Chain A
Amino acid sequence: MPQTVTASLIKIITVLHEPDGYIDLILYNPSIAKNAGPGQFVMMKAAPVNDPILPRPFDIVDTFPREGTFRLLIKINGRGTALMNSLKPGDDVFITGPLGKPITDFSFSSCAVLFRGCGAAAVLMFIREAKKRGITVYGIASAASSDKLVCKSEISALCDEYLVATDDGSLGLQALGTEVLKNIVEGEGVDRIYSCGGGPFYLPYLMEVQDRLPVYLFLESYMGCGVGHCHGCAVPKKSRPGDPVQYTLVCQEGPLYKLDEVEDPCQIYQ
């Protein structure tokens, strides 16, 4: 696999603690800034401790090749990410990346991109690339409440239309993101749907609509190494009844999959 992957200590340039519950980092590494593509991620270990021991995967939100920097958005939701709360500019973190398969298929003219919570971090580079190629992008941001919307200004500035659905109605429509998506599919119409996050809530509609147009998912999985050595992030591929089950490694072949390529995404798509 001819891909340049950096594995080294990398310096943090800036740290923002916003929105609440997130850490927004800019890190310096010209190679990652130059080579990372949409859909790719890095593995990050914030401190040289053995508990927690494994590095964690984070989507590359954006790259700034001229400055030699890239951006990560970390949602604090466990022991590993809680440790990252004390990171400050000048600190070194161990990073391996860019990892995963960069998205290169932009052979369509319009798409709807549905994302929930920090799923926004995974889709921002993809939307930027799609817009560079003149693709019409409907961005549909969904969250529990308006203060949980991330990358709002960046994504809304890029999209042709930026629509919001919140569970509590504090912004946009008080509805599931898929209801907004349905309006677009049945109204203006799009060539493709891309979805990240919100699995159990989104899947019923996505499963239904995939008969009419291609649906793509940004998948998540438990990862040990993120590189392909541990085989920990396997998800079952769609197989015909009676055929032996085959697995795909999200770290190597993902994170983007067509919905009908993977088996039982309800269980694995969280």
Chain B
Amino acid sequence: MPDLSVTFAGITFKNPVVPASGTWEPLDAPDTGLAMSELGAVVNKTIFKEPRAGNPPPRIWETASGMLNAIGIPSAGADDFIKKKLPKIRKHADKVIVSIAGYTADEFAWLAKKIEQTGMADMIELNLSCPNIESHTSWSTDPALLAQAIVAVKKAVKLPVIAKLSPNVTDIAEMCLVSESSGADALTLVNTFRGMAIDIKVKKPALGNIFGGLSGPAIKPLALYAVYTAYERVKIPIIGMGGIASWQDALEFILAGATLVGIGMYTFVNPLCMRHVISGLSNYCSEQNIEKLSDCIGKAHPAT
């Protein structure tokens, strides 16, 4: 059996496959056969301090090889998550990455601290980039705000902190550098690309929120570019995601420099996609006589 384990920000994950935040809800959805324990880590749908209802419908719209969404991160809030969900995730998952967001830097820090105090999280991911909440992308499109949020969280907690960034910027590598110099221990690249569709039947925007975030295979080359260019500029490790639909796609991200890979929208297409990616990577390593998958990380870059 090839070794699929990877070390990411000082923590060893048994394999590199994780769900993109907000795309896999093992506690709420009926069981389709994929266990939390199969994955490198479980990542929750982003929680805010207070409950959120989410955006008005329609919330999703199919596009060419992709999907627009404007879900608006519904959740029952931090207390409910910590009381009802986190203990179950901790019990079943191998590693736990808790995704949080706030409306102010203080709120990010407060929530990160609260999560750390539970003792049930291995890492904290800061969702600095949801495109579907008013003004929310400004965290990762404005370098000063980005630094402010990360610095505040890093002051508040000892757990490793991942900054999940938006691709809706001129140069994402610059924002990666800002994150690194602000103390982020790792990066998640990328959140969705802002987009829209018009429903020609009614001559109106297709999404209730008008604008949404594009995900799925349509964005894979764009996301891969972000990971590849960031890998050349920063030393902190990367969770690569954006349109991964197969083990081959995941391997591209690893070769581009991702240590962990996130599956998002494709879980909607096939609820067992993450399992198939894990087994596909394992088979690939066996066939290629690769003992450790981690040797592949960043291998697409010229040798230095």
Contacts and interface: CB of A to CB of B under 8 A. Distances in A.
Q: Do A and B bind each other?
A: yes
Interface of A: 1-7, 45, 50-55, 94, 96, 99, 221-225, 227-236, 244-247, 252, 268
Contacts of A224: 60, 67, 69, 265, 268
Given A3-B30, A5-B33, A234-B74, 12 more contacts: A2-B31, A5-B31, A45-B270, A53-B62, A53-B269, A54-B268, A221-B57, A224-B67, A224-B69, A228-B29, A230-B60, A244-B53
A230 B31 contact: no
A267 B238 CA distance: 43
6 contacts: A3-B31, A53-B216, A55-B269, A228-B25, A229-B271, A231-B71
B46 to A, nearest CB: 12
Contacts of A221: 57
B287 interface: no
Contact of B64 (A51, A236, A252): A51
Contacts of A268: 57
Given A53-B66, A54-B269, A229 B57 contact: no
B31 A4 contact: yes
A229 B53 contact: no
Interface in B59-77: 59-62, 64-67, 69, 71, 74
B77 to A, nearest CB: 12
B188 to A, nearest CB: 18
A231 B56 CA distance: 11
Contact of B59 (A51, A52, A232): A232
Nearest to B206: A222
Given A53-B216, A245-B53, A252 B29 contact: yes
B271 A231 contact: no
B74 A231 contact: yes
B65 A7 contact: no
Nearest to A54: B62
B30 A1 contact: yes
A247 B66 contact: no
Contacts of B58: 222, 232
Given A51-B64, A53-B269, A96-B271, A227 B57 contact: no
Nearest to A49: B65
B288 interface: no
Nearest to B220: A50
A62 to B, nearest CB: 21
Nearest to B272: A7
B29 A229 contact: yes
Contacts of B245: 50
B61 A222 contact: yes
B182 interface: no
B267 interface: yes
Contact of B269 (A5, A45, A245): A45
Interface in B21-63: 22-25, 28-33, 53-54, 56-62
B217 interface: yes
A231 B31 contact: no
Contact of A247 (B53, B62, B268): B53
Contacts of A244: 53
A99 B29 CA distance: 10
Contacts of A245: 53, 56
A19 to B, nearest CB: 24
Contacts of A3: 30-31
Interface string B201-241: 00000000000000011000000000000000000000000
Contacts of B30: 1, 3, 5, 99, 227-228, 252
A231 B33 CA distance: 20
A229 B56 CA distance: 17
Nearest to B29: A228
Interface in B10-26: 22-25
B34 to A, nearest CB: 8
Residue in A2, A231, A246, A268 whose Cβ sees the most chain B Cβ within 10 Å: A231
Nearest to B71: A231
A48 B267 CA distance: 14
Given A225-B271, A252-B28, A230 B69 contact: yes
Contacts of B69: 224, 230, 232
Contacts of A231: 22, 54, 59, 71, 74
A57 to B, nearest CB: 12
Q: Top 5 A-B pairs ranked by shortest CB distance?
A: A228-B29, A232-B60, A225-B268, A50-B65, A3-B30
